[in-house]
Every structure is written in structure tokens, then in C-alpha cells.
Structure 1
Amino acid sequence: MIRFALRRAAFSVLLALGVSFATFVLVFSNGTAIARAILGVDATDEQVQALAHEHGLDRPVLVQFGEWLGGVLQGDLGVSYYTGEAVTDVVTSRVPVTLALLGIAMFFTAVLSALLGIASAVAGGWADRLLQMVALVGTAVPNFIVAIMLVMWLAVSARIFPATGFVPLEQDPGRWALSLALPVAAVVIASVGPASQQFRGAVKDVLERDFVRTLRARGIKPRAIVFRHVFRNAAGPGVIILGLQIIVLMGGVVVIERVFALPGIGELTVNTSLLGDIPVVMGCVLFIIVVVVVVNLAADVVNAAINPKVRQR
């Protein structure tokens, strides 16, 4: 088990490094364009070249990446082009908001997708078709549309939840929960559909195995078969499904934070991208890469703990 975990961890590090390098090359491949975006269209070529040289944007991309990676390993992500503030401080100040939104959304997505997937696979017939149709509608509707509808119904009309803004947990736990309620709901509604359908497929696959038919022939109660045997065997694929859903959740968080004006990584990414503050953008991208890689690594390890056959691959 330890060898498997170490092997997967090494692969995850290489994956994070590769994605970071590809993103860095795409972002920093044209230093002149970055400098002109900072100065504006009225800047002269001499001013653009001077700014590019000041920030080292006229050097080879590989050299810039090497220096950036060296700084990352020391906890230094550079400084903002606009404010001069350390990128590490800018990003870490936004992390608690995003982690709270993402963590709560992942929890509810896991619980609801498992329950809906099991119910759909076990019930069959019209109930299965109804749940699939609901999941399809939830998947088809963009998350920002869901967010706007929730704001109109529950914030503007009913005035139950705040429409925008964020209250830190240490300031007021009750208002913190209220400020995250609608954003979490919007993310979960958009992500639980595909997750429940994939979990349904895993449960149906287990239900069709010979040992389930044997258990039924022995007269064991259906509820015991589902929750003691089927769910445990489907848990491994279910964990992998939820690990992959982190990509969907991260995409939803980026949009939802913008809609609800939450001061998180997603809102920061959008704002700094529009400004062309590339060091901050790279800091946000690095955070997203680390979250996705760590969650999928954890999913692989949990799946290996549940299913010993995985460790032999």
C-alpha cells in the first residue's frame, strides 16, 4: 500500500509540474503582449520594451519558468504587476473562501450523488428514468443560470439568504453559513447530475454480478444487499468518480464566486486575467492544479485501500 501511494504521489508531482509548465509557456510566450496589456494601447514601443525588460519578459521562457519554479519551491510566487504585493500573500488571503465553498460543495455532491445513484440503479423503471431526466436537466443548465435563479427566488424575492458578499467564519459563523448557502447550492446542483449518473452506472454494474444474484437466492433482504455488499463494492469506482468531479467543481467555483462576489480564488483569477496581472494568474492556476492533483491522489489511495486489486496495477 505504501509503495502504491508513493508511486501515485510521484506521478502526481510530475503531472502538476507538466501542467504548470504548459500553462506557464502559454501565458508567458509573448512578453511584449503582456507589457503592452499593462501599459495600454497608447504606449510606445520603447516603453513596452522597457517594461518587458524590467520584468524579465524578454528572456527565454525556459529561463523564466526555471526562476518561477525555484521561487515556488521557496514559497515565493513573485509580485503583482499592478500592486507590487507578494503573490503568495494575495493568493493565500483568498484560499479560505474557496476551500470552504469547495469542501462543502464536495461533501454534498458526494452524499447526494451516491443516494441518487443508488436509488436510480435499484429502483429501475419509471423512477430510474425520472431521476435520469432530472440529472440531465441539472447538467444541461449552466451553473451561472442556476445561481441567478437562486438569487432571484431566495435572496431577492424571499429574502432568506444574502444575494452577494462573504462574512468570515471567525467574525460570525451564522452569517458565514448564510453567505455560502446559495453559492454551495448552485455548485452542487450543477455537479450532482453527472456524478449521480456515473455512480448509478457503478452500482448497476455491481448489481449484475453473480454474487448479488446468489445473495438474493439465499433470501437476504434487498436493503442489506444494497448497503452491505453493493455499496461497498461500488464505493471504489464511486470515489474515483468523485475525484474526477473536482475538475467540474473547480470550474463551477470560478464562475460562482464571480456571480456572488465572493473574495476567493475564482474571483481573483477572473479579475487578474482581465487586468493581465500574469504573476497573480499563475499563482491562482497553481492553487487549482494542486487542489485537483491532491484530491485525485487521495481518491486513488482510498480506492486502493478499498480494492486490493488496484494496488497490483
Structure 2
Amino acid sequence: MLKVVAYRLAISVPLLVIVSLVTFLIASLSPGNAALAILGQGATPEQIAELEQALGLNKPVLVQYGDWLAGAIRGDFGSSLVTGQPVLQALTQRLQPTLSLLISSVVVVAIIGCGLGVFAATRGGALARIIDLLTFVGLAIPNFVFALYLIPLFALTLRLLPASGYSTLAEGIGPWASSLVLPVVAMAFGAVGTIAKQTRASMEDALGREFVPMMRANGYSRRSIVYRHALKTAGMPMLTAIGLSAVGVISGTVLLEAVFAFPGLGGLAVQASGQGDIPVVLGVTVMFTIFVIIINLLVDLGFAAINPKVRAA
């Protein structure tokens, strides 16, 4: 188990460097910069050049990245070029809404998707066809488009849930949960069908193996065969599908945070990109990359818990 963790953490270091470098190069080559965002369209070229020099934007790109990387290694991600706020402080302020959306969505996808998949594999019939239809519909309709239909129905017509915004945990569990319902439903809509279909296929394969008739002949109950043995056999493909869906949820937060006016990391990334605020863009990118690393690590630990061969590798 420790080998799995050590290996994953070891390969994460070059991954963070590569992702941050690519992000820095793309952001640097994009039109517009922080100096223009600060001074406005009416600024003269001389004023822009003077501010670029003050901000260090006139240095070679690789020199700028080297300066940022040296600070990041020390735990200093710099400050926003536009607001002057430390990047770590800006990330911390935006972390709770994004984590709430991510974790809630992944939990809902995993529980409902796996539950439907197991039920479809053991019962079959119409539910299996409904899951297939749900998968196709979920893949065909982007989650932000689905969200645009949820808001008028549940927030404006039925008046059951807030249309936008985020309530912190400090405001109470009720308001916090209410502000998450529509974004989580929109986020999970397509992924639930995908997980259910993968789970059904994995469970059907597990239930078709030789050990199942032998266990029935030895008097094992159906519940024990399905939930203690077949489910464990099907666990690795299911974990893989959940991990991939969780990574997809991370990428989907940017659009959904914009739709639901969530004050999260996705909105911060969009705002910083438009302003050419490279330190903030890099901070958000590194944070999202860390999320992906954690998800992959959890999946690997799940593999190790299910399969002793993984622990021994």
C-alpha cells in the first residue's frame, strides 16, 4: 500500500511542473495582459510598457516561469497582478464552493450509478434499457445545457430551490444543501448513466463466472454472492469508471459555476484568464491538478484494497 502511495506521489511532481509550464506558456501567448486590464483600453503604449516593466511582464517567458516556479517550491504562488491579493489567499477563499460541488457530485454519481448498475445486473428487464437510454441522453446533452432547463423549472416555476449563488456551511446545513441541489443534479446527470452502464456490465461479467454456480451449490445466499463476492470481483472496473467521472466533474465545474454564479475556483480561473492574471491562472491550474492526483491516488488505493496482487506489486 505504501508503495502505491509513494509511486503516485513521485510521478505527481513532474506532472505538476509540466502542467504548470504548459499553462504558463499558453497564458503568456494569449492576447491581452494584466497591464492592459489594469489600465484599461484608453491607456497609451508608453503607460502599458511602464506597467509591464513594473510587473515583470517584459522579462523572457521562461525567466518569468522560472521565477514563479522558484517561489512555488517555497510555497509562495505569488500575488494577483490585478488585485495584488496573494494567490493562496484567493484560492482558499474560493475552495469551499468548488470542493462542495465536486465531492457532492462524485458521491451522488457513485452511489446512484453503482446502485442502478447492480440492480440492473441482478434484475435485468426494463431497467437495463432505461439505463442505456439515460446514458445516451446524458452524453448527448451537456450538463450546462441541462442546468439551463433545471433553473426555470425548480427555481422560477416551482420555487423550490435557489436559482444561483452559494450558501456556506456557516450559514447552516439547510441553505448549504439547497444551494448545491441543482448544480449537483446537473453535474451528475450524464455521469450516473455512464457509471450505471459500466457497473451493470462488470456485475454481469462477475455473475457469469464459474464461482457463482459453485457458491449457490454450497448454499450461499443470493445476497452474499452478489454483494460480497460478485461486487468485489467487479470492483476494479467500477472504480476506474468512477475515477474517470470524477475527473470529468472537475472539468465541468468551470461552466457550471458560471451558470449558477458559484464563487468557486472555476469562476476565478475564467476571470483571471480574461485579465491576463497569470499567477492566479497558474494557482487554479495547480489546484485542479492536485485534485486529479488525489482522485487517481484514491482509485489506486481502492485497487490495492480490492486486489492483493496490486498491494504486492
Compute the TM-score of the two structures, normalised by the length of structure 1.
0.90
Counterpart of 2:151?
151
Which stretch shifts more, 184-193 or 213-222?
Answer: 213-222
CA distance in 2, matches of 1:37, 1:221: 70
For 2:78, the equivalent position in structure 1 comes to 78
Q: Assess, with a 3 A threshold, how the Cα gap between structure 1 residues 79 and 312 changes in structure 2: closer, same or farther.
A: same
Q: In structure 1, what is the Cα distance between the partners aligned to 2:251 and 2:2?
A: 32
Matched, 1:117 2:117: yes
1:304 maps to a residue whose letter is: A
Are the aligned partners of 1:116 and 1:196 in contact in 2 as well (CA < 8 Å)?
yes
Whichever residue aligns with residue 276 of structure 1, its letter is G
Deviation at residue 173 of structure 1 after TM alignment: 2.3
Written as runs of structure 1 = structure 2, the 5 A alignment for 1:6-85 is 6-29=6-29, 33-34=32-33, 37-38=36-37, 39=39, 43-85=43-85
Which residue of 2 is the match for residue 130 of structure 1?
Answer: 130
How big is the shift at 1:265?
A: 0.8
After superposition, what is the alpha-carbon deviation per residue over 1:7-53, rounded to whole angstroms, capped at 9, x for unaligned?
Answer: 122122332222222222222246x8425753555544434433332
Identity %: 40
Q: Secondary structure of the residue that 2:170 maps to in structure 1?
A: coil
CA distance in 1, matches of 2:241, 2:23: 25
2:261 alignment partner in structure 1: 261
| Structure 1 residues 98-247: aligned runs within 5 Å | 98-218=98-218, 220-247=220-247
Structure 1 gap segments, 5+ residues each? none
- Partner-residue secondary structure (3-state), 2:234: helix
**Counterpart code for 1:163:** A
Provide the C-alpha distance between the structure 2 equivalents of 1:18 and 1:163, rounded to a whole number of angstroms.
Answer: 38
Q: 1:46 to 1:35 in 2, by over 3 A?
A: farther
Cα shift readout 1:163-206 (whole Å, capped 9, x = no counterpart)? 11222111222211111121111111132222222333322332
Is the partner of 2:293 in helix, strand or coil?
A: helix
Structure 1 CA distance for aligned equivalents of residues 202 and 58 of structure 2: 52
CA contact (8 A) 2:108 2:188 kept: yes
* Residues in 2 aligned to 1:35 and 1:91: alpha-carbon distance in whole angstroms: 19
More off after superposition, 256-265 vs 189-198? 189-198
Distance 1:228 1:37 in 2: 61
Higher relative contact order (CA 8 A, sep 6+): 2
Residue type of the alignment partner of 2:179: S
Distance 2:72 2:119 in 1: 46
Q: Could you say which residue in structure 2 is the equivalent of 1:301?
A: 301
Mapped partners of 2:126, 2:14: distance in 1:
46
What is the one-letter code of the residue matched to 1:101? L
Q: Which residue pairs with 1:87 in the alignment?
A: 87
| Partner Cα separation in structure 1 for residue 34 and residue 49 of structure 2 | 8
- Between the aligned partners of 2:44 and 2:89, the Cα distance in structure 1 is 33
Displacement, 1:224?
2.6
How many angstroms does 1:96 deviate by? 0.8
Report the Cα distance in structure 2 between the residues aligned to 1:58 and 1:312, rounded to whole angstroms.
52
CA distance in 2, matches of 1:61, 1:210: 61
Q: Give the root-mean-square deviation of aligned CA atoms.
A: 2.2
Q: Which moved more, 1:240-249 or 1:49-58?
A: 49-58
The one-letter code sitting in structure 2 at the alignment partner of 1:52 is E
Question: 2: distance between equivalents of 1:134 and 1:149?
Answer: 17
Q: Which runs of 5+ in 2 are unaligned?
A: none
Which amino acid in the other structure matches residue 183 of structure 2?
A: P
Residues 161 and 178, structure 1, Cα contact 8 Å, conserved in 2: yes
Moved more, 289-298 or 196-205: 196-205
**Are 1:240 and 1:296, in contact at CA under 8 Å, matched by a contact in 2?**
no
- Alignment size in residue pairs: 312
Number of the residue aligned with 1:310:
310
| Between 15-24 and 146-155, the greater mean CA deviation after superposition | 15-24
The answer as to whether partners of 1:164 and 1:179 remain within 8 angstroms in 2 is yes
Higher alpha-carbon deviation: 193-202 or 90-99: 193-202
**1:282, 1:178 → 2: CA distance?**
31
